[in-house]
Amino acid sequence: QVQLVESGGGLVQAGGSLRLSCAASGRTSSNYAIGWFRQAPGKEREFVAGINWIRITTYADAVKGRFTISRDNAKNTLYLQMNSLKPEDTAVYYCATSRGLVPGPDKRVYDYWGQGTQVTVSS
């Protein structure tokens, strides 16, 4: 059983930065892809960014150039550095492990999910 625990969310002003973390436990290897999703009130959960075990990364167009995904396999931890935050980035952010080779927006290939961390960006 894989457990994912997100942290690092909070309240920040527009233009500010936050760094989210996702600690993974229960896996015996790092050969998996993992991604970040977010869900704003009244909206569908959407893909934000993903990274696989050889560090191929993918990003949603809305966050390209502002967000950076990375992972530390030795610590089994995923990160999301979020810069130049906008009010529309406000959402609950989730990490999830993927069965795919390159993480993308198809939620059907994600099997384990964290509980989420709230990010609120004020204008």
On the question of pLDDT at 28 being above 70, the answer is no
CA distance 85 to 13: 8
3-state secondary structure of 54: coil
Residue listed under structure tokens 């999703």: 37
Q: What percentage of the chain exceeds 90 in pLDDT?
A: 85
Taking only the tens place, the pLDDT of each residue in 42-63 is 999 999 999 998 999 999 999 9
Which of these, 34, 61, 49, 46, lies nearest to 91 by C-alpha position?
Answer: 46
Query: Which pLDDT score is estimated for 26?
Result: 87
CB-CB contact of 98 with 32 (8 Å): yes
Q: What is the pLDDT of residue 15?
A: 98
